[in-house]
Structure 1
């Protein structure tokens, strides 16, 4: 598969929106290693996940554009001539989407429509992969959750991400803008946001345990699955290069699910020390909590041959090792 990817991306022009973010930065570096000519578009909004350190290994080999996906004229220019578009720009905080729903709407829905319109008008041949989220499912009716599960978002973020997802599928079906949707679960790894919980609670845990401070576990019995960032990147690459993925929606999932309490205990063990406090779930967040969730990733395994290969233990160990060196840059 590696040789296939090299031939698919070598010399190709690739645009990565949100390319200084956690997953976008890792993806951009991988694309550079495959010989692609990469343009990264990122607004570096402080409340979001963009960080120049996420691209440090490939910064000199990537064209970085400080651009906001809400800027229609700029995005139209950036889309021109690209062979691939990995569309990862987004507002990820569930709580922020509830306190500032208009911004979430602009970034996660309206801007996605604008990007696709730019593709339709200026580059209808571009191949698109869109980063969606498991949040669109809401509270599961059954586990594991497959792609046939009802879609019932419990917050504004989920509603807007679902709209963005549907725009991509519509433009694939009606306008021939070949698109694939990946519904990501809890992605962890080097480069994840750790200064707060806007991206994932695991980042806050890692920061606190490395700083020698106790972290909070809300509830603890909830089941979750976790995908290592390099495994997620592999899914994006496969989705972009396989014809059967055009117009398709796939769940990403991690290794076997574990409780948040078990995850906290594992983190302390791997760090060689640390502590946490178990607390009741805050009332404000309980209203948009989805309870137990883990995904059925069987469809992407059957059709694209992808599966998560990195254990949670290995993923956490690699993340801790990264932030022992990089913590000061991210907080």
Structure 2
């Protein structure tokens, strides 16, 4: 049976697709490559997927005093990963991008071990553009990314989603009346403090209308827990997000590829507020695809105020037929077997390049 090293680190957008692929290969020996003190240390079940850590930072936006330090870290990390690949007898590498992908790709390339790189965003990241040529396959979440990678071997597979979004749990949201209008707000695994601030200014009015509000704040929001109401369910993180999202009538979210894939599987209409400081504004490219399909309304962060958001929500809530049409459009973008597609690519790879 092939032995696989997965390099995925940092955020749910990188980790959840990788975990979905790992679970689609239940018989394979799989180990994990991450970074100390990042989210993988909590999310990756280390009894199942032994976790190896290297110290590594993201490249700064331009040349500055940190550049040499980061490059030195990259060289050391690449050497460490190379030793791991050799001693561990790995013959395939899978990565979901981000800076942890760089040493994984470089080390595997030096040993002739094939790499599958998954790029979830419509605008490929720097690692994909720079190092994708040294991968056996670059698997894409969006066909729109192909135009940015004209010389690479690419395959559109969608973005894998954690299995509980395929099998929605029925345990969450039981306290919410069946007829209630439910609004879910999520800024992704890390939260979105600026979005949370605007949402909290609107919550009292929404509650007065009888709406229920489910709010994932992230763990960086100091205001979390300071407001209480029976119809306002606020947590830093929902491990059972699939069930809560499944109950929602409308979702307000950033436009990370992982969240978008979850929305497609659950057919949920959305208001997307792309994170404007994401690398190269890639969330805007993601959101534009959904806006063009009529699956979501896109609101720039610069335009986001409590009054504007409340007006938009009031209009959408008053037209359930429009929400239904948006949900149907969202469903048309779903790739429910994405994890199985990636697993198939890994299975069919030649053992050595």
Q: Does the pair score TM above 0.5?
A: no
**What's the TM-score bracket when you normalise by the shorter of the two chains?**
0.3 to 0.5
Larger radius of gyration: 2
* TM-score, normalised relative to structure 1: 0.40
